């Protein structure tokens, strides 16, 4: 093999591998379920590849081989017709055996993927146009809290998500961890998965849900269990009171300018229920359902004109003076 | 291409009855697809029935008398219908006229009764999914009833004009055939609409 | 009765050759002038219009596809807004499925089936004309709405509750739902015509085991249409009712359920795939026999496979709903039933491979498209086996993997055979050959462009790209493959431009074809190209599955049909024994008027339920006008 061919091959393979890896890839599993699914997929892929190659080979040979001489199209060879008929039927039987075999492989995989664990950590996720409401529920109400667009979970522990919709149908999908499940109006679905490794795995709505379906993403952040415990304890607390004058001004403006009508910030007078809970918004990594990274610049741009960044979303553009915007921004940034 | 005449068909008739005629198969085709439409609507009814714990939803079951009366009338209508069919097969124009008029009258009475049935469903289409599916199914069947009635009236008029030619008798038998479908379709729908809510 | 008068009629047995042709042409031709054109009930005229219209919709749908590929070529592209993109992908899917794929297959059947079974017109020719007008008006309604920015934007599947009044309070979903009603009326009408034509109008002697495979395929398709489409009509009607008069079919707070919609939609939607695919396989069988220069191996196997595919196709709709939270065991069973459809499909493939193996292939453009079909379709079928698996589907469902899969199946399985069919039957329809040189370019550009456009989508889906997103962020690593795919799409689009050029050029300048340019075996090649209005001067008698190969120089025919009114020969269902010389309707303006009345009724009912009341009398009048005898020879027979 010439050196350049090798080089190209190596490049291609590396590129392919790089392309398959990623924080939203079914080919780069980081969970028990996604690993199982990938194994099933590879079995199917191998069988399919063999069948396809066999068909193309037979086609090629059939076209190229020397043919017997005939005078008219109806000058058929009785022996061939019989042999071909038997062969076709034999292959039909073989196909049946293969697909039944694959059905069993599939069902075995399915049972593993959908196996249920009674001791799973339960989250409730409610889909909205176009963001995710996440409830961490515990027996004691003091242990329960609500967040949005970011799901933190402990590694190694089975997670159960209960899926509901507040409006239209959405679909919860984190390919690195498991397959998807729909959030259906008037129905409760559930899905279980376990993250093997710590990391940030991106998920995205997979069922067309209207204008901004493309911008309805979220992150699942898998943390080592102790770190998760600390995060959870922190989330359980009410919002920090602003530490400075500007922050207090921001808090007041948050109510005065109508933000509080839609957004909840626990421990304050802001108790709106229509939009994402912002109690700890400053600690989140993204805003606008995974649309932008969370930093003062993007958050400021978002608040000053949400319709520019994500046209059609339900957050109206509020007329804010620039000093008001700075104050609100300063306040939100502190809600770690 | 050169042609060799191997067969003469000049003795064949210019119309046939039943499976020998084209329109009969056409009617058959439409009955099949309309029957499928009924089956799908029934499936939707049963689906809604299965997922709802209370049925009927927020309403009492339909009053029985209009639907039951219709069943009786439908079943009785088979007699004049069959009479019309036989008359048509014998090319008996006078009897066919009588039969078509009787069938038109029966159709009108059934249509009026259908009005009462809607009024006695005891639910509106916008009350609940139950009301919606009940109105849809009854509406679907009423469309068939009205269409066949229209066809029967037009044929009845036709048979009094100069167009009452022999092949029109074949059309009459197709109309008879279609009426039987309308009758047959009603029986399971009656059970579904009037009795399933009483289970 | 009128038998005495009958005896005095002019029959074809007293006329000969040119005289007979002239006389038949006089009674069967479409009247001249604009009014005449609007009255035409000739299956060839209607079929040609149907084919051309469907290809216009292909062109429009294709342009939308290119727009989407431009938008997705790079991350965060602003070429299309979210609103436009959502309208465009909805329009693309709806146009391709309802205005192109199904109609074009039925259109070919309308044109070819009467010729292939050896009759003079399709059964119920006026219904056929009506069907075309309904299709045309429905298609125009959708596209005019789109031009007026009222194009549907809820996907070609229009899932509730997104398509409900609450979440889409515009007229857009109504436009979608009513377009469905139009096209379903049209499709159902053609299905009944095809079934009756094949059942009752086959040439004498064309027993069930002598019916050409293409006709068998269209017969099975017609049955699928008949049993699948009522489901979508119930669905679209109930959606409109929910939106217009507040019914509660899909309102989960009043006992309704969104999944009812999905069941109804996919009970239609999955057979729909086979409604598109099975005609494609029929075309493959027809082309393959001609260009492999031998009959297709395993004729009965192919037919049984078609029928089995038809039955199985009604038992797999649930695989579109694997991630809606259905009971696990049930879902697993639908995996098996979905995969089992690979068996009849596989059997057909094996028969075709055996045909090529033993045949002496002549590599003309139609055969190239069939070879391309096998390579692509098998791949699409295998990825179909993958998506049938519940665990795999939970990952790839609603991703670009599925987009790749069904384009491999639908373009590979139906469009490649269809383009092959255009090259194959163009000479019959126009009398001229398409350019072979352009044809080869057309094929290779299509084959290469298609694979570059759609193969990368498999990978895109696996690495996380969902469907129906109008853009994606740069950090998702999807940009390269999307760019590649968009490049392939342009090459693929170019191949269709070549086809268009070829058709326009060859229709006027192409080599004259003659009756049977490919030396094929079926009856449509036994008449002139293009066929005269009466199709055949004398109805052929069939003694062999491949009549033109078996009969050599002289075609056996029947005599004794009327030469002064339109008459078709009805034969018995199984044995095709002549039974009746039935009159065939003459041209009429009423089908057009009925279609116009129905169009007013359908469109009006989007705006007010009262349209059902005031819209009915015009329809009733049009229908009475349609059926009321005019005293013509055909009516009074």
List the single residue in A56, A190, A214 with the smallest CB-CB distance to C375. A56
Question: What is the Rg, in whole angstroms, of the alpha carbon atoms belonging to chain B?
Answer: 21
Tokens describing residue C211 = 């019916």
From A132-141, A156-165, B57-66, C390-399, the region with the lowest mean pLDDT: A132-141
Backbone φ, ψ for residue A204 (5° rounding): -155, 145
Burial of residue C177, with CB atoms counted within 10 A of its CB: 0-12 exposed, 13-18 middle, 19 or more buried: buried
Q: For strand A217-223 and strand A286-287, is the pairing parallel, antiparallel, or unpaired?
A: unpaired
Report the chain A residue with the minimal C-alpha distance to residue C362: A63
Cβ B129–C254 below 8 Å, yes or no?
A: yes
Mutate to test the interface with C, among B132, B152, B157 (most CBs of C within 10 A): B132
Average pLDDT of the segment spanning C373-397 = 97
Q: For strand A121-128 and strand A159-165, is the pairing parallel, antiparallel, or unpaired?
A: parallel
Residue window 237-276, chain A: list those with CB within 8 Å of chain C. Answer: none
pLDDT the model gives residue A7: 77
Average pLDDT of the segment spanning C460-487 = 95
Residue window 171-230, chain C: list those with CB within 8 Å of chain A. Answer: none
Backbone φ, ψ for residue C385 (5° rounding): -60, -35
Cα angle: A145, vertex A146, A147; to 5 degrees: 130
Nearest residue to A145 (alpha-carbon basis) of A232, A242, A268: A232
Helix (H) / strand (E) containing A223: strand A217-223
Residues C299 and C210: their CA atoms lie apart, in Å, by 10
pLDDT the model gives residue A189: 96
Cβ A187–C257 below 8 Å, yes or no?
A: yes
CB atoms near residue A127 (< 10 Å): 26
Q: Is the pTM of this model over 0.90?
A: yes
List the single residue in B33, B128, B162 with the smallest CB-CB distance to C188. B33
Inform me whether the pLDDT recorded for C377 exceeds 50.
yes
Provide the shortest C-alpha distance from residue B31 to chain C (in Å): 10
pLDDT the model gives residue C10: 81
Provide the shortest C-alpha distance from residue C289 to chain A (in Å): 9
Average pLDDT of the segment spanning A38-65 = 96
Four-point Cα dihedral C72, C77, C79, C83, nearest 10 = 80
Residues C6 and C385: their CA atoms lie apart, in Å, by 61
pLDDT the model gives residue C552: 73
Backbone φ, ψ for residue C264 (5° rounding): -65, -45
Average pLDDT of the segment spanning C602-612 = 92
Cβ C252–A185 below 8 Å, yes or no?
A: yes
Nearest residue to B11 (alpha-carbon basis) of C246, C82, C11, C72: C11
Inform me whether the pLDDT recorded for C5 exceeds 70.
no
Task: Extract the runs of DSSP E, i.e. beta strands, from C302-360.
Answer: none
Longest dimension (CA), chain A: 100
CB-CB contact of B125 with C240 (8 Å): no
- Chain B positions touching C550 (Cβ under 8 A) are none
Residues 6+ apart with CB under 8 A from C224: C271, C274, C275, C278, C310, C313
Residues C421 and C427: their CA atoms lie apart, in Å, by 11
pLDDT the model gives residue A68: 79
Tokens 């209005």 correspond to: C533
C102-115 pLDDT tens trace: 999 999 999 999 99
Provide the shortest C-alpha distance from residue C590 to chain A (in Å): 42
**How many CA atoms lie less than 13 Å away from C359 in the CB half-sphere?**
24
List the single residue in A81, A189, A212 with the smallest CB-CB distance to C82. A212
List the single residue in A25, A52, A84 with the smallest CB-CB distance to C379. A52
pLDDT the model gives residue A8: 73
pLDDT the model gives residue C1: 39
Inform me whether the pLDDT recorded for A67 exceeds 90.
no
Mutate to test the interface with A, among C464, C470, C475, C549 (most CBs of A within 10 A): C464
Nearest residue to B38 (alpha-carbon basis) of B142, B145, B175, B141: B141
Provide the shortest C-alpha distance from residue C32 to chain A (in Å): 42
Which residues face A221 on adjacent strands?
A152, A200
Cβ C463–A45 below 8 Å, yes or no?
A: no
Cα angle: C256, vertex C262, C263; to 5 degrees: 90
pLDDT the model gives residue C2: 43
Residues B41 and C231: their CA atoms lie apart, in Å, by 8
Confidence tier at C446 by pLDDT (50, 70, 90): very high
From A213-217, C298-302, C306-310, C472-476, the region with the lowest mean pLDDT: C472-476
pLDDT the model gives residue C7: 55
Which residues face A170 on adjacent strands?
A183
C476-519 pLDDT tens trace: 889 999 999 999 999 999 999 999 999 999 999 999 999 999 99
pLDDT the model gives residue A69: 78
User: Taking the mean position of all CA atoms in its chain, how far away is CA A128?
Assistant: 15
Inform me whether the pLDDT recorded for A155 exceeds 50.
yes
Residues C180 and C229: their CA atoms lie apart, in Å, by 10
C310-344 pLDDT tens trace: 999 999 999 999 999 999 888 999 999 999 999 99
Confidence tier at C299 by pLDDT (50, 70, 90): very high
Average pLDDT of the segment spanning C158-170 = 95
B44-64 pLDDT tens trace: 999 999 999 999 999 999 999
Long-range contacts of A278-282 (CB under 8 A, 24+ apart): A278/A332, A278/A335, A279/A145, A279/A146, A279/A147, A279/A235, A279/A238, A279/A239, A279/A335, A280/A147, A280/A234, A280/A235, A280/A239, A280/A335, A280/A336, A281/A332, A281/A335, A282/A332, A282/A333, A282/A334, A282/A335, A282/A336
Confidence tier at A6 by pLDDT (50, 70, 90): confident
C550-600 pLDDT tens trace: 987 889 999 999 999 999 999 999 999 999 999 999 999 999 999 999 999
Residues C485 and C460: their CA atoms lie apart, in Å, by 10
Residue window 23-82, chain A: list those with CB within 8 Å of chain C. Answer: 24-27, 34, 36-37, 40-41, 44-45, 48, 51-52, 55-56, 58-59, 61-63, 65, 67, 70, 72-74, 76-77, 80-81
Nearest residue to C201 (alpha-carbon basis) of B22, B4, B23, B14: B22
User: Would you call A187 an interface residue with chain C, using a CB distance cutoff of 8 Å?
Assistant: yes
Find the helix packing angle between B166-190 and B64-89, rounded to 10°: 160
Percent of chain C with pLDDT strictly greater than 90:
93
Average pLDDT of the segment spanning C195-208 = 97
pLDDT the model gives residue A1: 62
Confidence tier at C16 by pLDDT (50, 70, 90): confident
Chains that touch A (3 or more CB pairs under 8 A): C
CB-CB contact of A275 with A263 (8 Å): yes
Mean model confidence pLDDT for chain A: 92
Provide the 3-class DSSP secondary structure of residue A305: coil
Task: Extract the runs of DSSP E, i.e. beta strands, from C492-588.
Answer: 554-559, 567-571, 578-583
Q: What is the DSSP string of B149-172?
A: HHHHHHHHHHTTSTT--HHHHHHH
Average pLDDT of the segment spanning C285-293 = 97
Report the chain A residue with the minimal C-alpha distance to residue C84: A211
CB-CB contact of B144 with B110 (8 Å): no
Average pLDDT of the segment spanning A199-204 = 96
Four-point Cα dihedral C367, C371, C372, C375, nearest 10 = 170
Confidence tier at A57 by pLDDT (50, 70, 90): very high
Size of chain C in residues:
637
């Amino acid at each position: 093999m010439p050196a350049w061919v090798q080089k190209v091959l190596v490049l291609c393979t590396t590129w392919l591998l790089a392309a398959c890896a990623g924080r939203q890839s079914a080919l780069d599993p980081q969970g028990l379920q996604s690993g199982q699914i990938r194994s099933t997929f590879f079995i199917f892929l191998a069988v399919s590849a063999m069948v396809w190659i066999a068909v193309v080979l037979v086609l090629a040979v059939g076209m190229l081989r020397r043919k017997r001489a005939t005078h008219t199209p109806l000058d058929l060879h009785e022996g061939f017709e019989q042999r071909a008929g038997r062969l076709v039927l034999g292959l039909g039987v073989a196909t049946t055996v293969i697909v039944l075999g694959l059905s069993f492989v599939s069902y075995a995989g399915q049972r593993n993927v959908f196996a249920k664990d009674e001791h799973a950590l339960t989250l409730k996720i409610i889909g909205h146009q176009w963001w995710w409401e996440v409830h961490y529920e515990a027996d004691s109400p003091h242990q329960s809290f609500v967040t949005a667009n970011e799901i933190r979970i402990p590694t190694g522990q089975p997670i159960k998500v209960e899926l509901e919709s507040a409006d239209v149908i959405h679909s919860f999908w984190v390919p690195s961890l498991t397959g998807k499940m729909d959030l259906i109006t008037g129905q409760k679905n559930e899905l279980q998965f376990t993250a093997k490794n710590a990391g940030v795995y991106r998920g995205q709505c997979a069922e067309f849900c209207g204008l901004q379906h493309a911008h309805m993403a979220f992150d699942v952040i898998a943390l080592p269990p102790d770190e998760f415990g600390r995060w959870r304890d922190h989330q359980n607390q009410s919002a920090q009171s602003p530490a400075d004058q500007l922050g207090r001004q921001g808090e007041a403006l948050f109510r005065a300018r109508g933000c509080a009508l839609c957004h909840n910030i626990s421990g304050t007078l802001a108790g709106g229920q229509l939009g994402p809970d912002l109690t700890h918004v400053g600690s989140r990594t993204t805003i606008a359902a995974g649309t932008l990274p969370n930093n003062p610049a993007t958050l400021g741009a978002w608040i000053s004109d949400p319709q520019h960044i994500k046209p059609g979303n339900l957050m109206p553009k509020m007329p804010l003076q620039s000093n008001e915007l700075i104050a609100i921004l300063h306040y939100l940034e502190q809600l770690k | 291409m050169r042609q060799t005449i191997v067969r003469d068909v000049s003795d064949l008739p210019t119309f046939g009855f039943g499976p020998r005629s084209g329109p009969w198969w056409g009617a058959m085709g439409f009955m099949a697809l309309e029957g499928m439409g009924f089956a799908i609507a029934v499936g939707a009814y049963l689906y809604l029935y299965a997922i709802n714990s209370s049925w009927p939803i927020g309403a009492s079951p339909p009053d029985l008398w209009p639907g039951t009366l219709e069943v009786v009338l439908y079943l009785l209508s088979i007699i004049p219908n069959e009479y019309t069919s036989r008359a048509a097969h014998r090319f008996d124009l006078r009897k066919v006229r009588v039969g078509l008029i009787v069938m038109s009258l029966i159709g009108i009475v059934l249509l009026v009764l259908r009005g009462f049935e809607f009024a006695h469903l005891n639910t509106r289409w916008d009350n609940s999914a139950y009301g919606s599916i009940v109105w849809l199914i009854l509406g679907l069947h009423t469309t068939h009833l009205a269409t066949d009635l229209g066809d029967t009236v037009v044929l009845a008029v036709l048979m009094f004009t100069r167009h009452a030619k022999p092949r029109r008798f074949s059309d009459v038998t197709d109309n008879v055939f279609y009426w039987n479908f309308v009758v047959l379709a009603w029986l399971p729908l009656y059970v579904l609409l009037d009795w399933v809510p009483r289970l | 009765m009128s038998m005495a008068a009958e005896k005095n009629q002019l029959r074809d047995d007293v006329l000969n050759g040119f005289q007979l042709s002239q006389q038949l042409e006089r009674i069967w031709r479409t009247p001249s002038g604009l009014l005449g054109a609007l009255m035409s009930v000739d299956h060839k005229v209607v079929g040609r219009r149907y084919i051309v219209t469907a290809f216009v919709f292909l062109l429009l749908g294709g342009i939308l596809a290119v727009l989407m590929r431009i938008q997705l070529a790079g991350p965060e592209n602003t070429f299309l807004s979210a609103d436009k993109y959502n309208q465009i992908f909805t329009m693309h899917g709806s146009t391709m499925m309802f205005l192109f794929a199904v109609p074009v297959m039925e259109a070919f059947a309308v044109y070819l089936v009467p010729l292939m079974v050896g009759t003079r017109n399709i059964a119920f020719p006026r219904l056929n004309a009506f069907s075309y007008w309904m299709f045309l008006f429905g298609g125009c309604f959708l596209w005019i709405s789109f031009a007026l920015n009222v194009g549907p934007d809820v996907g070609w599947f229009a899932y509730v509750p997104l398509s409900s009044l609450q979440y889409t309070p515009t007229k857009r979903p109504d436009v979608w739902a009513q377009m469905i009603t139009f096209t379903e009326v049209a499709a159902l009408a053609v299905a009944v015509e095809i079934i009756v034509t094949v059942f009752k109008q086959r040439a004498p002697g064309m027993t069930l085991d002598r019916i050409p495979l293409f006709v068998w395929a269209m017969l099975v398709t017609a049955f699928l249409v008949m049993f699948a489409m009522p489901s979508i009509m119930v669905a679209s009607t109930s959606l409109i009712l929910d939106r217009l008069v507040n019914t509660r079919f899909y309102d989960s707070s009043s006992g309704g359920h969104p999944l009812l919609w999905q069941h109804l939609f996919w009970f239609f939607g999955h057979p729909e795939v086979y409604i598109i695919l099975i005609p494609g396989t029929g075309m493959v069988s027809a082309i393959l026999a001609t260009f492999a220069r031998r009959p297709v191996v395993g004729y009965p196997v192919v037919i049984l496979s078609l029928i089995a595919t038809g039955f199985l196709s009604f038992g797999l709709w649930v695989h579109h709903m694997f991630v809606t939270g259905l009971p696990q065991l049930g879902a697993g069973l639908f995996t098996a039933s979905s995969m089992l459809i690979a068996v009849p499909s596989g059997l057909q493939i094996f028969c075709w491979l055996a045909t090529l193996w033993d045949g002496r292939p002549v590599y003309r453009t139609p055969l190239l498209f069939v070879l391309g079909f096998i390579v692509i379709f098998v791949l699409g079928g295998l990825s179909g086996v993958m998506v049938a698996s519940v665990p795999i589907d939970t990952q790839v469902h609603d991703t670009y993997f599925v987009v790749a899969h069904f384009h491999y199946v639908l373009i590979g399985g139906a469009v490649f055979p269809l383009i092959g069919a255009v090259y194959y039957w163009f000479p019959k329809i126009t009398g001229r050959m398409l350019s072979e040189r352009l044809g080869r370019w057309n094929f290779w550009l299509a084959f290469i462009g298609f694979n570059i456009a759609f193969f990368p989508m498999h990978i895109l889906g696996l690495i996380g790209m969902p469907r129906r997103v109008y853009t994606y962020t740069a950090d998702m690593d999807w940009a390269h493959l999307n760019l590649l795919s968009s490049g392939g799409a342009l090459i693929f689009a170019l191949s269709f431009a070549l086809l268009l050029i070829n058709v326009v050029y060859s229709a006027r300048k192409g080599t004259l074809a003659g009756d049977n340019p490919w030396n094929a075996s079926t009856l449509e090649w036994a008449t002139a190209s293009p066929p005269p209005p009466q199709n055949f001067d004398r109805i052929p008698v069939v003694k062999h599955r491949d009549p033109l190969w078996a009969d050599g120089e002289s075609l056996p025919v029947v005599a004794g049909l009327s030469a002064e009114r339109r008459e078709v020969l009805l034969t018995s269902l199984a044995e095709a024994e002549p039974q009746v010389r039935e009159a065939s309707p003459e041209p009429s303006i009423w089908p057009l008027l009925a279609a116009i009345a129905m169009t007013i009724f359908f469109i009006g009912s989007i705006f007010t339920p009262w349209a059902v009341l005031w819209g009915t009398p015009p329809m009733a009048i049009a229908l009475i006008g349609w059926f009321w005898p005019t005293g013509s020879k055909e009516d009074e027979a």
